[in-house]
Chains A and B, each alone.
Chain A
Amino acid sequence: MSVYMVSEKDAKKLKPSLMAGLIFVLGIVAVLIGQISLNMVLTQDAYQLRSLTIEKRNLATDVQIIQEEVSSLSSPQNLADAANMLGMVANPASVMIDIDNDKIFGEPAPARADGSEVASANLVANSALGTVSEFSMATVASGELEVSVETANLASSGLVLQSGLIPASPTR
């Protein structure tokens, strides 16, 4: 190893440039800031991912709640009870209309509420029944009125075709 003695003037020339040092330090700082920023973004994404996962889970729970409500409301047990509450009775006397041949099959007959073989109220157990249809007394009362009027009309008209044509509905 050799050591050289230089003049003061030459020594000044050899002095490291302040600018170069500054650039070096700023470079390091910039890299560190970049690294921290990247880290923050990644961490933020992780938190966002977690937040979205929780939101998705909560929404799935909400969907399940709504689906269970719909299942309960659309279950035959609820429908039977609701129909019964409105005064409806199953009518096994079906009447078929053959559009092509202008024919009506079967004899229309009003439903009988006392038909022992046709139970309208629900008799089939369902412990999963949660949300059920609810009617106000006014709704139930008007429902009964509608049924009685409809039955009387059907019985009196008998749906007999005089002209051989199926009557068109007055509804437009």
Chain B
Amino acid sequence: MGTHAKLSRRLGAFAVFLFLMVAVLGFRLVDFQVVRAAEIQEQSLETRKITQTMSSLRGDILDSSGQVLAKTVFRYDVNVAPKRVGPVFQTIDGVRTERSVDEIAMDLSQLLGIDYGELILKLEGDSEYSNLAKTVNAEIFNAIRDMNVPWVFFDQFEDRLYPMGAVAGNVLGFVGSDGTPLAGLERQYNTCLAGIDGQETYERSAEGVRIPSSNRTAQPTENGGALNLTIDANLQFFAQQVLADTVNNLSAEWASAIVLDVETGKILAAAEAPTVDPNDPAAVEGADRGSRIFQAAFEPGSIMKALSAAMVLDTGTADEFDTVTAPDRMQLDFDNEYIKDSFSHEDFTLSLAGVLRYSSNTGMTNFASQIDRKVRHDYLQKFGFGSVSPLMFEGESSGILHPVAEWDEMTNLVTTFGQGISVTSLQMAYAYQAIANGGVRLDPLLVESCLNEDGTVAYAPTQQATRVVSTASANLDLELMEKVVEFGGVGKTAAIPGYRVAGKTGTAELKDGSGYGEEYAISFYGIAPAEDPKFVVGITIYKPEGVSNSSKATPPFKAIMQQALKHYRIPPSTSESRSVPSNKYGEVDEND
């Protein structure tokens, strides 16, 4: 065989080999690029893709002027990996220094406020995890992070901060350590406050570095909305200060104060003592972690008389000049029962204003019992008693207003002066708001709105108005109530210099088993300025020690009402109250 033939055969074989190689590679290429392209791409993406959850922030709770009552902050758990604990070498200004474990532990113990010996024990062992401290604030976190210790690491999490502490803590409620809302508005308005966690994916290189522009947002993060309250934090704080002082001085079980804006029906303050600091709810008893203004019902006693008087006027049963005989003890014609006043006196001849001024149970019974019981029951319902308010505050009590068919003879009479019925402070304050607002009761407002992060309104409450009594009856009732503050034995202590004040005292005996005992719930509910009502302030003090009349309820009323008038720049009254018969003879008082 010649040289050419050999060369040609080898070249031919090489060409065939080359062709086969190209064919195989081509086949693989088509297989990878076309047939299995999607599958391979998917596998490739899976190895590069990282999915992470972007936590949404819970919304703020703000007072009526935008002051923050609750907000979300970050807190940190400080952990170490004992297995990796060792000296730390650092180069500062070109100088290599070594920090021993003891030095680092000393710094950590100071920053975290942990005993050095205790901390050293936590650094020992072969584990990868040991917790040094939980829920440290950002300042301490920063200080520890700046130490650059490689075996110290952190877990960041969201926490709820209430910058004003117990101010409005009773209505705000609180959240658990895992962020779950547990009480109050935090729970009731969780839909508004809670955000929606987002989800984001990105790709990273083999070295673990994020590849730019590889971000894909699967679910955008939506932070929670801002809940705007009608509460005025400054007034709320002032009222809580006054109540804390009152409870301390009287050794009372609790006290509450509610301040309403008459014209809008907004709750400006809903203060209580004792109350809860939502930053540390465990510091108080369970009973003090809610809001008694909404949740606690009590027999109101004589503060009800102002409402019974409105019924008497509105039904035309009597006017301001009509009188009844009011003995200090009145025998009833059934079951050997009787009604008596809180003090001994000869038979008085009392007008409606006189009944309020002397807080006469017998007088009020004689006036109001002339009204059909069904009519009075309807009035009580329209005043808001016996039902939960549209606020639907968590655990809100409806009080007790028995159906009229269940009223026995005694209940029929005693409801006129606040027995046989139980009410919440909220209900009573709004009944007074109706009197102050020309006979129209407005639905209570505690939440102004919930605003989304972009400022759009997610929720705004609707408010209804209920006509309870006529404007004329309401205004006349207010004038009668002024006589309580002008001439009443206890009522006089509620007077505010420069302003016309209308109000009513209440001293309700508390039930002790089947009868009434020696403990009281004392109250004062008042309105000012009487000629153009702006505020209702309702004070209730529960079980004050050694107190059997409402004289201790008027100082907190006076202080809080005075503060509200000053705070909202309400000019003092320029007119005098009208002369109305109010003395024990049914005549105009000589000083009136």
Contact = CB atoms under 8 A, between A and B. Distances in A.
A119 B242 contact: yes
A76 B555 contact: no
Given A3-B7, A64-B138, A106-B498, A76 B233 contact: yes
B572 A46 contact: no
Nearest to B276: A125
Interface in A66-94: 68, 71-72, 75-77, 80, 90, 92-94
A144 interface: no
Given A45-B212, A94-B562, A126-B277, A3 B8 contact: yes
A69 to B, nearest CB: 9
Contact of A128 (B161, B245, B246): B161
19 contacts: A3-B4, A3-B8, A46-B212, A49-B210, A49-B212, A75-B163, A76-B237, A92-B559, A92-B566, A106-B498, A117-B245, A117-B559, A119-B244, A123-B245, A124-B241, A125-B283, A126-B164, A126-B165, A126-B277
Main secondary structure of the interface of B (DSSP, over half): helix
Interface of A: 1, 3, 42-43, 45-47, 49-50, 58, 61-62, 64-65, 68, 71-72, 75-77, 80, 90, 92-94, 96, 98, 105-107, 116-119, 122-130
A124 B15 contact: no
B162 interface: yes
B562 A92 contact: yes
Given A92-B566, A123-B244, A75 B559 contact: no
Contacts of A122: 241
A1 to B, nearest CB: 6
A116 B73 CA distance: 38
A104 to B, nearest CB: 10
Contacts of A98: 571
Nearest to A43: B209
- Interface bin, chain B: 35 or more
B565 interface: yes
A118 B209 contact: no
Contacts, number: 133
Interface of B: 4, 7-8, 11-12, 15, 68, 73-74, 137-139, 141-142, 161-167, 205, 209-212, 233-234, 237-238, 240-242, 244-246, 248-249, 277, 279-280, 283, 497-498, 555-556, 558-559, 562-563, 565-566, 569, 571-572
Nearest to B566: A94
Contacts of A123: 240-241, 244-245, 248
Given A1-B11, A50-B209, A75-B163, A61 B249 contact: no
A97 to B, nearest CB: 10
B163 A117 contact: no
Contact of A105 (B11, B73, B163, B498): B498
